[in-house]
Amino acid sequence: MCDATQDAACYGALGGPVYLQLMRNTRGHKLSLYYNSAHVFKFKRTKSVFYEEFNTTSVLQRWQFVPDNGTMIINPAERRDAGTYRVQITESTGRGVKHTVQLTIEAPVSSVDLSISSSANGERSVRCSSTGDSPQYSWSLDGRPLGEADADLSSDNQTILLRGDVTGQLTCSVRNHVSSTHTTRLMDLCSGGISPVFISVWLAEIIILTSLLVGGYYLYIRNRTSHTPDQDVELTLTSTSRRRTPEEVQMQ
């Protein structure tokens, strides 16, 4: 229900009913409704009279004024129903009241979809799209609003660049003046990207393994060097204590 008893901006869903409350009490009052410069209808006592182009079957099937609560019902609403309406009321005391209503008809948002692409550094570009008029987008991660630490947002909030190490339930919510909807997707790390945390752990493991290998090799070389002189002594002793041949004895 749109309160059209004063100057107002009202919104209606395309294909759905629109309720414009033009006045709260019709008893003893006269009411006229204008669309742009055209006279739509006049109400006096208990009778409503539609004029000219509005006094057709196609319009009367969709338009209805309810005197009990002073409400104009348009069902189903069409694009051509949008525009500026002027309300003129003559009260039982003779006092005149005028106000303007701006009616906008919007197609409801629906069919929300997320498209995801991954970069080499693990960042993910996520685009939210939907049908409907004038959609407005917002994002949340695990039930909380998406922050700058999680992603970079485009100017229209339709596309985000998700950080490489961010995971969780990502929700895109879409709304306009007549409807709202959302979709949720579980975001994992990109298969083609590597998390900075993983890289740090991987490098640490390489450094530790390299240190162990270098230390082991150093101990091996030191132990081998410490045993080499004993072998040389044994060989020397063996060579000096060998038995002399008969030829060497005769020469003496």
Last residue of a domain, one of 163, 187, 211: 187
pLDDT of amino acid 213:
80
Same domain, 96 and 161: no
| Structure tokens belonging to residue 34 | 């204008």
pLDDT over threshold 60, residue 231:
no
Q: Residue 98: which pLDDT band, with cuts at 50, 70 and 90?
A: very high
Which of 13, 47, 8, 52 minimizes the C-alpha distance to 31? 47
Segment 14-67, tens digit of pLDDT: 999 999 999 988 888 999 999 988 999 999 988 999 998 899 999 999 999 999
- Is the whole-model pTM more than 0.75? no
42, 30 contact by CB (below 8 A):
yes
- Percent of residues, the chain, with pLDDT higher than 90: 58
Answer yes or no: do 128 and 170 share one domain: yes
More confident residue, 192 or 144: 144
**Residue 20 covered by a domain:** yes
Surface-to-core class of residue 226, CB atoms within 10 Å of its CB (0-12 exposed, 13-18 middle, 19+ buried):
exposed
Kindly state whether residues 28 and 99 are assigned to the same domain: yes
Residues near 156 by beta carbon (within 8 Å), at least 6 away in sequence: 137
Quickly count helices (H) and strands (E) in the chain. 3, 18
Domain presence at residue 163: yes
- At 117, which CATH number? 2.60.40.10
Average pLDDT over residues 207-219: 78
Q: How many domains does the chain have?
A: 2
Are residue 6 and residue 99 in the same domain, yes or no?
A: yes
Domain around 155: 110-187
pLDDT at position 196 over 90: no
**Residue 201, domain member (yes or no):** no
Q: Looking at the domain assignment, is residue 230 inside a domain?
A: no
pLDDT digits (tens, 9 = 90+) for 129-154: 999 999 999 999 999 999 989 999 88
